């Protein structure tokens, strides 16, 4: 049976830019929305024949701010996807929204167009913290948007929160999490604030602004994992928590290395054994699609060996983790060097084994970059040792004295 496919559509427009954001999104370019819609529709249509053999089980419209782009345009996009692709009846269809650009009417249009999951950027329940990062909505608008979502018929709501914000304390973070829980979402994403190069936040930090340090962020994170577990939202990925049955199927496909096709500037795809992305330039994308031109930014065939590294990197982000049998039978690699290292991580309280699968603990997730880096080195070493052993064997087989 053909692999199932995910579709990602990128909407690169925002009402204004948040200080920490390095996603490809633009404020003040609303004049290009109509042309962008034309380009997207055209691109989605011309790609459809390539995907005919693949049932689509997730669609994700992200950004940017899709809700700011407008429900009518989103409805048109979903209509074309449903018409030209083999979208399964129970496909998960997510639309990202911000509290200041949704209302009940727009949400009803989206629901009717097939969207069944909303991912809302709440970030904080504290007005001062929101202002500090230049989010343009208020905590009150989050409440109103969550109510509007329910009334419009959405029964799968996810809220995004950020910890480690300027001036944030353990108490203010706890208040944010409790506020989010009071809105009874099905899913929560809690991200640690990262200072990305080239953002206004990076400039502020360079000028001396002090943010919660790594230890403070770790305290906030570990408290969150415990609190959400007790509230019925077990962790299923480093930053993601869900009520049973509500893990994001679309995001899981990235971590489980399942295929997806992306549309829009900066969008990535992993399809047909090839990984490729489109230019991070709105005008170049529109022009390339509508007038014919190269819109590919990067494209590469992924050899099995690289897939094997991805398996470690991506699966170890999830509590599902990795399994010896799966690893051996898919990549024909020796698991022993990884096993030895994972046992050392276990002794430190960073990893554990559940039902034959190795995964990190919350303490391990805090160090996941270093721990995965370490495992990748072991894997690389094992690969070369394996090659040397094979070449010796071949050599002997050829009767070399
Ligand atoms: S709304 Fe989202 S995509 Fe837009 S600037 Fe803020 S963080 Fe970035």
The answer to whether the CB of 162 is under 6 A from ligand 1 is no
Closest C-alpha among 123, 100, 109 to residue 152: 109
Give tens-digit pLDDT for 243-259.
999 999 999 999 999 99
Q: For 5-255, which CATH class?
A: alpha beta
Give yes or no for residue 178 having a pLDDT over 80. Answer: yes
Q: State the pLDDT at residue 394.
A: 56
Q: State the pLDDT at residue 392.
A: 63
Q: What is the DSSP string of 101-137?
A: G--HHHHHHHHHTT--EEEEEEE-S-HHHHHHTT---
20, 23, 68: which to mutate for ligand 1, most atoms within 8 A of CB?
23
Q: What is the mean pLDDT of residues 151-180?
A: 98
The answer to whether the CB of 99 is under 6 A from ligand 1 is no
Q: State the pLDDT at residue 400.
A: 39
Same fold yes or no, 5-255 and 305-397: no
**Confidence label for 293 from pLDDT (cuts 50, 70 and 90):** confident
Q: What is the mean pLDDT of residues 48-75?
A: 97
d(CA 34, CA 59): 22
13, 25, 200: which to mutate for ligand 1, most atoms within 8 A of CB?
25
Spacing, Cα 34 to ligand 1 middle (Å): 20
Spacing, Cα 19 to ligand 1 middle (Å): 9
Q: What is the mean pLDDT of residues 327-337?
A: 91
Which one is predicted more confidently, 388 or 306? 306
Contacts of 347 (CB under 8 A, 6+ apart): none
Give tens-digit pLDDT for 338-359.
999 999 999 999 999 999 999 9
Alpha-carbon distances, residue 242 vs 8, 66, 158, 371, 389 (angstroms): 21, 23, 9, 25, 46
Least confident residue range of 6-20, 112-126, 142-156, 370-384: 370-384
d(CA 384, CA 162): 41
Spacing, Cα 241 to ligand 1 middle (Å): 21
**Token reading at 163:** 């910890």
HSE at residue 166, side-chain half, CA atoms within 13 A, is 19
Q: What is the mean pLDDT of residues 10-36?
A: 98
Q: State the pLDDT at residue 303.
A: 81
Q: State the pLDDT at residue 383.
A: 74
Closest C-alpha among 354, 321, 355 to residue 338: 321
Spacing, Cα 110 to ligand 1 middle (Å): 20
Which one is predicted more confidently, 298 or 1? 298
By the 10 Å C-beta count (0-12 exposed, 13-18 middle, 19+ buried), 61 is classed as buried
Tokens 């094979």, residue? 390
Spatial contact of 103 and 64, defined as CB atoms under 8 Å apart: no
Q: For 305-397, which CATH class?
A: mainly alpha
Q: State the pLDDT at residue 3.
A: 87
Q: State the pLDDT at residue 79.
A: 98
Give yes or no for residue 401 having a pLDDT over 60. Answer: no
Least confident residue range of 34-38, 176-180, 362-366, 390-394: 390-394
The answer to whether the CB of 23 is under 6 A from ligand 1 is yes
Give yes or no for residue 396 having a pLDDT over 60. Answer: no
The answer to whether the CB of 17 is under 6 A from ligand 1 is yes
Spacing, Cα 17 to ligand 1 middle (Å): 6
Give yes or no for residue 267 having a pLDDT over 80. Answer: yes
Q: What is the mean pLDDT of residues 226-250?
A: 98
Which one is predicted more confidently, 306 or 378? 378
Percentages helix, strand, coil for the chain, rounded to the nearest 5?
A: 50, 20, 30
121, 137, 194, 201: which to mutate for ligand 1, most atoms within 8 A of CB?
121
Mean pLDDT of the chain: 94
Domain ranges of the chain: 5-255, 305-397
Q: State the pLDDT at residue 387.
A: 66
Alpha-carbon distances, residue 366 vs 222, 235, 242, 252, 325 (angstroms): 9, 13, 19, 20, 27
Q: What is the mean pLDDT of residues 372-384?
A: 88
d(CA 256, CA 145): 32
d(CA 203, CA 361): 34
CB atoms within 10 A of CB 231: 15
The answer to whether the CB of 316 is under 6 A from ligand 1 is no
**Confidence label for 316 from pLDDT (cuts 50, 70 and 90):** very high
Q: What is the mean pLDDT of residues 158-180?
A: 97
Spacing, Cα 313 to ligand 1 middle (Å): 26
């Amino acid at each position: 049976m053909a692999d199932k496919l995910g579709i990602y559509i990128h909407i690169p427009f925002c009402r204004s830019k948040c200080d920490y954001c390095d996603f490809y999104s633009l404020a003040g370019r609303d004049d290009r929305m109509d042309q962008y819609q034309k380009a997207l529709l055209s691109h989605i249509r011309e790609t459809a024949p390539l995907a005919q053999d693949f049932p689509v089980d997730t669609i994700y419209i992200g950004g940017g701010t899709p809700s700011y782009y407008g429900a009518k345009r989103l409805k048109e996009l979903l209509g074309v996807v449903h018409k030209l692709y083999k979208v399964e009846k129970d496909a998960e269809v997510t639309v990202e929204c911000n509290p200041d650009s949704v209302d009940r009417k727009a949400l009803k249009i989206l629901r009717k167009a097939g969207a069944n999951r909303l991912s809302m950027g709440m970030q904080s329940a504290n007005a001062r913290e929101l202002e500090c990062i230049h989010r343009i909505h208020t905590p009150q608008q989050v409440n109103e948007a969550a109510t509007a979502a329910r009334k419009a018929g959405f029964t799968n709501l996810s809220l995004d929160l950020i910890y480690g914000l300027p001036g944030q304390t353990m108490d203010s973070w706890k208040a944010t999490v409790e506020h989010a829980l009071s809105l009874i979402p099905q899913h929560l994403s809690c991200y640690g604030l990262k200072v990305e190069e080239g953002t206004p936040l990076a400039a502020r930090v360079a000028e001396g602004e002090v943010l919660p340090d790594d230890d403070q962020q770790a305290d906030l994170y570990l408290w969150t994992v415990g609190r959400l577990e007790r509230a019925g939202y077990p962790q299923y990925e480093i930053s993601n928590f869900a009520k049973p049955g509500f893990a994001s199927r679309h995001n899981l496909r990235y971590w489980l290395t399942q295929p997806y096709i992306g549309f829009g500037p900066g969008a990535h795809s992993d399809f047909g054994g090839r990984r490729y992305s489109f230019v991070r330039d709105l005008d170049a994308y529109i022009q390339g699609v509508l007038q014919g031109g190269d819109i590919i930014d990067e494209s590469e065939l992924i050899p099995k060996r690289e897939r094997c590294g991805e398996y470690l990197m991506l699966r170890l982000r999830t509590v599902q983790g990795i399994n010896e049998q799966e690893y051996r039978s898919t990549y024909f690699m020796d698991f022993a060097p990884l096993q030895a290292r994972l046992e050392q991580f276990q002794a430190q309280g960073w990893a554990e084994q559940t039902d034959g699968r190795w995964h990190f603990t919350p303490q391990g997730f805090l160090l996941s970059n270093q721990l995965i880096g370490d495992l990748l080195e072991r894997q690389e070493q094992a690969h070369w040792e394996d090659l040397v052993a094979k070449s010796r064997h071949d050599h002997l087989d050829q009767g070399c004295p």
